[in-house]
Structure 1
Amino acid sequence: MTTPMLSTTADLMPLLPELVLIGGAFALLMLDLFLDANRRYVTQALGLALLAVVMAMILCGTGGHGTVFHGMFVRDVMADVSKVAILLTSALSLLYAWPYLRERNLYPGEVPVLILFATAGMMMLVSAGNLVMIYLGLELLALCSYALVALNRDDGLSTEAGMKYIVLGSLASGLLLYGMSLVYGATGTLDLAGIHAASGNVADRTLLLTGVVFLVAGIAFKLGAAPFHMWLPDVYQGAPTPITLFISAGPKLAAFGMAYRLLEAGVGPMSQQWQLLLGGLAAVSLVIGNVIAIAQTNLKRMLAYSTVSHIGFLLVGLAGGDERGYAAALFYAITYALMSTAAFGAIVVLSRQGFEADRIDDFKGLNARNPWQAGLVMCAMFSLAGVPPFLGFWAKLLVLGAAVEAGMTWLAVLGVVCAVIGAFYYLRVIKVMYFDEPVGELPPPRKDRVAPAVLTVNALALLALGLAWNPLMAWCQQAFAG
């Protein structure tokens, strides 16, 4: 006699936030069919409200912690911290996206629904307790992301970015799936807890090691770590800027959660091997990302290569392989998500119909035109560069400290050198804003006030959280305590 998957509906309670989000996304998908172009703001507003409700449910502990479907879905403190950050970045993406997409008539009613489903995929990833759940969440996120990147069908750059994203994203998914199949073949189970228990005494260790290598390669693809970063610059440049903002922030948090579940909760006994792989990827990402970013004139491409370097710092924390390293890496992932939304949000706020503000030269003389916006951009760039007391400084300091504690001093030293190199291209943006003369005519003032207000809160939060970062770090440490 087989054991039923569920004994009562109470067993589904830890899954309640995801159920509410997916149910609400389907409802909005149906509602949007009955709304004309002038009332698409209803879908936008309801999407934001849904994200706020789900975030409140997680913060209030609605449903409680536990496992669902015999361990396939795990809800714990790490999952809750990651989900709150993911929901916040998704909400910021919607707030930035509405005025931009409305100006360009880019089907804004479909965007909130796709972002909601992508958010559900990210939430599944960070709560996965089984290889099947990991792949389900990954594909839900990926398919929605492909559609969002190719949103502007009349723009050749956007459709090209979408095609590149699909091809390379499919390659990454294939690598990850092949690695999962090898791990399953070596351990005989899809459950991450079972894989962890079996990894220490498998008969065919070579098969398991090969699977781990493919898992790390797939994770590196999804994170955008070098040398698996080839999709990042073209996708970041070609996608509409609010979509670039979205895929640069939330999916990085989800990929961190996936990496933790697969590597620590899954093949944890093989940590000596995968930590070396992550350390090597971190070093390559730090060097390639920072060096190539210096040569960029397009701000979105520059931020894409800087993403590679930031992923290097995140991997420095993961490579440490203990509670301190994981907490520092999670803190870095949240910090980077906030910094990235502010940086791309500045491009959204400064752009107009026919003027994308995506070149560094477009920021020339911004201080003379709009000192407040120049100050907000400066906050974002200082935080990305790791200038104290901004939040980015503490994030870098914590992951480098974790690397030293784990005996990877060489990696910490390389991180410090690369952080100094990276400061150059961030300070270049500040230099053109404050010391170069304005070029061209002054763009007309924005009619909306939402995006500038969101940018104000987003950028100033980098300074405020930099002055009071301890509670956030304590929450990240709680996620991996015990």
Structure 2
Amino acid sequence: MTTPMIQEAVNLVPVYAEIAVLIGASAILLIDMFLSKAQRSITYVLSLLTLVLCAGLSYCDFASGATTYTFHGMFVSDPMANLLKLFTYLTVGMTLVYSRQYADDRGMLSGNLGGEFYVLALFAMLGQLIMISGSNFLSIYLGVELMSLSLYALVAMRRDNVRATEAAMKYFILGALASGFLLYGMSMLYGATGTLDIRGISAAIDAGTINKTILVFGIVFLVAGLAFKLGAVPFHMWVPDVYDGSPTAVTLLLGGAPKIATFAICIRLLVEGLLPMAFDWQQMLLVLAVLSLAIGNITAIAQTNIKRMLAYSTIAQIGFVLLGLLSGVAGTTDRSGIAAAYSGAMYYVITYVLTTVGTFGTLMLLSRAGFDADNIADFKGLSKRSGWFAVVMTILLFSLAGVPPMMGFAAKFAVLNSVLGTGQIWLTVFAVMFSLIGAFYYLRVIKAIWFDEPADNTPIAAYGDVKLVLSLNGLAIVALGILPGPLLAACLTAIKVTLAT
């Protein structure tokens, strides 16, 4: 077992990336006040430079392979945290690139504080980084609220848009309810164990002196709060409404990096803190996974609005993530497959986020001032308008459907292999069956792209950086599908080190 370096005094080195985000976002907010609309590209460039700086800091920590606790054990820097942070920077950076023209066309970058889109995105990311490295209930909840409050403001940014205002109200009310569930579950666990520290909770449960009824009661509320943040059934009703009502740029900020952060706190809370209670929470995850796979895939078939279709697709994809989380301990007392199962789920989350970012990026590519590409019909004849971006969108949709050799196939295979390893053949068959059902609504969009006549022959105009990043996004999905080994190995190593410390 690796012995982590626990710093009794406050050591700021593991927190350099978070400090850089905080300073960068605050500086950008001040600088943006003195910029005109024509100079707003400076805010955009400074935001991307902040992400590059943070990525460099986190990569140095990841390359060292060390596990370091600081702030008296409330914050941890370990390989899992740093790997997930690297993909968080990548996701947010791609989101800002894809969103630039879309946000500008809709007046989201105008006014005295037009850079608030970038600033709020960075503050939401700061909350995600704290969630990923949180090793105490207080630090995790602080990250959750910082992320959530920033996202509430982003959803409501277009104050003159009725749909965006409605989406913001729904997201705020239901988000507050979910935060209450999460906080109440944490308070029950604190009452049962007498500690807010995740490692302390695991040690207290192992001691065998705690009333298990109180623990189970707390776990129910904890899982409910996490399920809302993930968008799992039956806590999913906000997902299609908020995805559809929000500006597409904000939808991407909601559906991308937050899923990485929520996965991280699932590992921290359920695996690191509550693994001795795995039999109880795995039953809850099993129900959530089965319902998410069934309802997400079936309901998506009925959608004509592509943002709502992708919202229900997200619900179904989360079902696979939950399968990976529960298969580490499901149906067996042999825990040798834990690391492989959780690394498979981690790989799946990364795959889903990279693919979803590219998909919504294509939606924004097809949109223009006064027009949003929200319906499947808007993709008709894309191959005749731009053959290359039709290929990219097809790659992304095939990956979501799990068609080889795309990255999505490797991710689904890794998760299903873990589920099969637990002996639950019925669950594996169930997941495969609904994946086949889900392939229908992806193929429907592909059919519109390649075989239908275009309803709109307007040329596709976009900044060069958008076209470049979107092209690289599509190629990466193919490359990581053909050669998934290095990333899977990195995920496996990260999970092993995290569990060992």
TM-score band w.r.t. shorter chain: over 0.9
Q: Work out whether residues 335 and 395 of structure 1, in 8 Å CA contact, stay in contact via their aligned partners in 2.
A: yes
Instruction: Report the counterpart of residue 82 of structure 1 in structure 2.
Output: 84
Partner amino acid, structure 2, of 1:223: L
Q: Alignment partner for residue 451 of structure 1, among 466, 471, 479?
A: 466
Q: Alignment partner for residue 114 of structure 1, among 104, 120, 125?
A: 120
Q: Secondary structure of the residue that 2:12 maps to in structure 1?
A: helix
Partner amino acid, structure 2, of 1:392: G
User: What is the CA distance between 1:280 and its match in structure 2?
Assistant: 1.3
Q: Alignment partner for residue 95 of structure 2, among 89, 93, 96?
A: 93
User: What is the CA distance between 1:277 and its match in structure 2?
Assistant: 1.0
Instruction: Report the counterpart of residue 61 of structure 1 in structure 2.
Output: 61
Instruction: Report the counterpart of residue 141 of structure 2 in structure 1.
Output: 135
Give the whole-Å Cα distance in 2 for the aligned partners of 1:371 and 1:311. Answer: 31
User: What is the CA distance between 1:30 and its match in structure 2?
Assistant: 1.3
Report whether the alignment pairs 1:196 with 2:212.
Answer: no
Percent identity, aligned pairs only, is 48
User: What is the CA distance between 1:248 and its match in structure 2?
Assistant: 0.6
Q: Work out whether residues 392 and 466 of structure 1, in 8 Å CA contact, stay in contact via their aligned partners in 2.
A: yes
Q: Which digits, 9 at most, give the CA deviation of each residue in 1:91-133, with x for residues without a partner?
A: 0111011111111211341111111111111111111110001
Give the whole-Å Cα distance in 2 for the aligned partners of 1:182 and 1:202. Answer: 16
Instruction: Report the counterpart of residue 174 of structure 1 in structure 2.
Output: 180
Instruction: Report the counterpart of residue 332 of structure 2 in structure 1.
Output: none
Counting matched residue pairs gives: 476
Give the whole-Å Cα distance in 1 for the aligned partners of 2:9 and 2:398. Answer: 52
User: What is the CA distance between 1:8 and its match in structure 2?
Assistant: 5.6
Q: Work out whether residues 186 and 202 of structure 1, in 8 Å CA contact, stay in contact via their aligned partners in 2.
A: no
Instruction: Report the counterpart of residue 303 of structure 1 in structure 2.
Output: 310
Instruction: Report the counterpart of residue 242 of structure 1 in structure 2.
Output: 249
User: What is the CA distance between 1:42 and its match in structure 2?
Assistant: 0.8
Give the whole-Å Cα distance in 2 for the aligned partners of 1:445 and 1:275. Answer: 47
User: What is the CA distance between 1:312 and its match in structure 2?
Assistant: 0.1
Q: Work out whether residues 14 and 65 of structure 1, in 8 Å CA contact, stay in contact via their aligned partners in 2.
A: no
Partner amino acid, structure 1, of 2:100: W
User: What is the CA distance between 1:203 and its match in structure 2?
Assistant: 3.2
More displaced stretch, 60-69 vs 318-327? 60-69
Q: Work out whether residues 300 and 313 of structure 2, in 8 Å CA contact, stay in contact via their aligned partners in 1.
A: yes
Q: Which digits, 9 at most, give the CA deviation of each residue in 1:412-466, with x for residues without a partner?
A: 1111001100100000000011111222x41244152222222111111111111
Q: Secondary structure of the residue that 1:417 maps to in structure 2?
A: helix
Q: Alignment partner for residue 360 of structure 1, among 376, 385, 389?
A: 376
Give the whole-Å Cα distance in 1 for the aligned partners of 2:236 and 2:14. Answer: 35
TM norm structure 1: 0.96
Q: Alignment partner for residue 378 of structure 1, among 374, 388, 394?
A: 394
Q: Work out whether residues 176 and 218 of structure 1, in 8 Å CA contact, stay in contact via their aligned partners in 2.
A: yes
Instruction: Report the counterpart of residue 218 of structure 1 in structure 2.
Output: 225
Q: Secondary structure of the residue that 1:74 maps to in structure 2?
A: strand
TM norm structure 2: 0.93
Give the whole-Å Cα distance in 2 for the aligned partners of 1:266 and 1:61. Answer: 24
Alignment of 1:328-407 (within 5 A): 328-407=344-423
Q: Which digits, 9 at most, give the CA deviation of each residue in 1:350-370, with x for residues without a partner?
A: 111111111000111111222
Partner amino acid, structure 2, of 1:336: Y
Q: Secondary structure of the residue that 1:60 maps to in structure 2?
A: helix
Report whether the alignment pairs 1:227 with 2:242.
Answer: no
User: What is the CA distance between 1:195 and its match in structure 2?
Assistant: 0.6
User: What is the CA distance between 1:276 and its match in structure 2?
Assistant: 1.3
Give the whole-Å Cα distance in 2 for the aligned partners of 1:32 and 1:155. Answer: 24
Q: Work out whether residues 51 and 91 of structure 1, in 8 Å CA contact, stay in contact via their aligned partners in 2.
A: yes
Give the whole-Å Cα distance in 2 for the aligned partners of 1:378 and 1:317. Answer: 26
Partner amino acid, structure 1, of 2:366: L
Give the whole-Å Cα distance in 2 for the aligned partners of 1:447 and 1:436. Answer: 23
Q: Work out whether residues 101 and 462 of structure 2, in 8 Å CA contact, stay in contact via their aligned partners in 1.
A: no
Give the whole-Å Cα distance in 2 for the aligned partners of 1:445 and 1:390. Answer: 26
Instruction: Report the counterpart of residue 431 of structure 1 in structure 2.
Output: 447
More displaced stretch, 61-70 vs 140-149? 61-70
Give the whole-Å Cα distance in 2 for the aligned partners of 1:283 and 1:130. Answer: 30
Instruction: Report the counterpart of residue 13 of structure 1 in structure 2.
Output: 13
User: What is the CA distance between 1:7 and its match in structure 2?
Assistant: 6.4
Q: Which digits, 9 at most, give the CA deviation of each residue in 1:114-170, with x for residues without a partner?
A: 111111111111111100011000000000011111111111111111111000110
Partner amino acid, structure 1, of 2:40: R
Q: Secondary structure of the residue that 1:61 maps to in structure 2?
A: helix
Partner amino acid, structure 1, of 2:73: G
Q: Which digits, 9 at most, give the CA deviation of each residue in 1:237-287, with x for residues without a partner?
A: 111111111211100000000111011111121011111111111111000
Give the whole-Å Cα distance in 2 for the aligned partners of 1:278 and 1:235. Answer: 24
